[in-house]
Amino acid sequence: MKTEIERRKTFAIISHPDAGKTTLTEKLLLFGGAIQTAGAVKSNKIKKTATSDFMEIERQRGISVATSVMGFEYNGYKINLLDTPGHKDFAEDTYRTLTAVDSVILVIDAANGVESQTERLMEVCRMRDTPVIVFINKMDREGKDPFDLLDELELKLNIHVRPLSWPINMGERFKGVYNLYEKQLNLFSANKTRISEDIISFSDLSDRQLDEIIGSDAAQLRADVELIEGVYEPFDKESYLRADIAPVFFGSAINNFGVRELLDTFIRIAPQPLGRPSSVRFIQPSEHTFSGFIFKIHANLDPRHRDRIAFLRIVSGIFERNKFYHHVRMQKELRFSNPTSFMAQDKSVIDEAYPGDVIGLYDAGNFKIGDTLTEGESMQYIGIPSFSPELFRELINKDPMKTKQLEKGIEQLTDEGVAQLFYIQPGNRKIIGTVGELQFEVIQYRLEHEYKASCTFMPIAFHKACWITSSIKTKLEEFISRKQTNIGWDKDNNPVFLAPSEWLLNLAKQDYPDIVFHATSEFKQTAQHLS
């Protein structure tokens, strides 16, 4: 078990949309032998449908679904790669995915530098002290000066950086990268499908052979490397693991260039599977009893089979097929006859899995995001919350004949974490809360195409949803009674204050000091454990 843990690396690739995340994912799979030709990931992004209006939404959602979890072997390591949606409206989905990984590769577009979504994603990594490696992509196009990019990374992302490879020019004059870590020169040739091997070792950059190979760029490379060694502190693996420093690589993912340096260094320095905090103690991967948590659910992964898969990150012990495990929230025993691992597009049934692995469990509706499975211990993994939504719409059924389909569809989609569902009484009105506008279109599209239910959304003037609790039961009852028109109930029947404005939310906090207003659903996990 110790050997299996040590050879695993579980990470996510994050980026602003169009920085080249999918292309880099594909090239990593190419190196790992999980796919044979470039284009395999992209071609499976979306099944062609007649409705071209929603292609963009399907693309935003489809990438993260079709290639959600990918495993591959490389140089004796088992690598688990999790893809994340790039679009800001799916930030919550990305946050939850980041709870399931131990490190991150952040892709930056050399021309655009650090963009707004990159900053948001990096905030999440800092909250969790997740180690980050930066890959500056598209060096074969004109972009910002590499030193300016490093300054921008430090300034905007609030993290120390240390280049471990360095580009020789860019755009049409791009000649390759010098690997500062390995003291090797990798010469560039546009090569989109194969894996290039054009590497020359240089233990000393003053070697005259360098001038023969890259001509007038040799002097600039020497000056740049001298400046890097003088300005940036030497790379320290422990600082990286503490998330104090981020190593930086340069390359061109579409041309399969600079990816090998990134991958080889990644397997050498990235953390092995880490433990996680729970409601009772910190759980170490080396513990012999199995435990894990659900961080993502997807219904209708294959629309023809109406299946629903819950993605489980294994934290400790060994998961075994057909063995009974304890579902902590439901207090019941479940077993799984066909747990799945993912290898690019292929799903395969596995007999066992180890800490760090992410597996798919076919689910008949037992799971919610944040659920914990154990070998009997009553504890809950923490830190996998739902966030307080900021956009609200009332769900209106357009076809009363399809009420059942609509109810089932909205229940399942909100279980996935696409959005949150609140009920307002009287009338059982359904309020959908999201953190981004795009989710409403995705929900509408998926309800129609996957559940054959049609709906529309009516804007509703709420500012924020806050879960409310109080240690004094009568105070909570009084608050609910007085604010009745602004009280909703979530799917677990917890009361939620739907504040009409920031001013009224602050006033309520002032007037009712015994009420606690929660911005995330984190409190529920602790409460469930205590109950």
- State the distance between the two ends of the chain, measured CA to CA, in whole angstroms: 34
Q: Does 155 map to a domain? A: yes
Are 411 and 354 in a shared domain?
no
CA distance 257 to 259: 5
Per-residue pLDDT, averaged over 466-489, amounts to 93
Are 120 and 25 in a shared domain?
yes
Are 84 and 217 in a shared domain?
yes
pTM reported for the whole predicted model = 0.81
* Mean pLDDT lowest among 83-87, 147-151, 184-188: 83-87
What confidence category does residue 343 fall into, taking pLDDT thresholds of 50, 70 and 90?
Answer: low
- Please say whether the beta carbons of 168 and 174 come within 8 A: yes
Are 285 and 351 in a shared domain?
yes
- Count up the domains in the chain and report the number: 3
* Mean pLDDT lowest among 135-144, 254-263, 269-278: 254-263
- Of 346, 374, 402, the residue at which a domain comes to its end is 374
Q: Does 4 map to a domain? A: no
SS3 290: coil
Are 318 and 255 in a shared domain?
no
CA distance 83 to 90: 12
- Please say whether the beta carbons of 493 and 360 come within 8 A: no
Are 414 and 314 in a shared domain?
no
Are 350 and 480 in a shared domain?
no
Are 264 and 280 in a shared domain?
no
User: What CATH number should be reported for the domain holding residue 107?
Assistant: 3.40.50.300
- Please say whether the beta carbons of 212 and 218 come within 8 A: no
Are 306 and 199 in a shared domain?
no
Q: Does 379 map to a domain? A: no
User: Tens of pLDDT along 297-307?
Assistant: 876 655 555 56
Per-residue pLDDT, averaged over 184-207, amounts to 64
Q: Does 397 map to a domain? A: yes
Range of the domain at 172: 9-269
Q: What is the DSSP string of 77-94?
A: EEEEEEE---SGGGHHHH
- Of 219, 253, 269, the residue at which a domain comes to its end is 269
Answer yes or no: is pLDDT of 51 > 50.
no
Are 149 and 228 in a shared domain?
yes
User: Tens of pLDDT along 69-79?
Assistant: 788 889 999 99
Looking at per-residue pLDDT, the higher value among 526 and 103 belongs to 103
- Of 269, 285, 301, the residue at which a domain comes to its end is 269
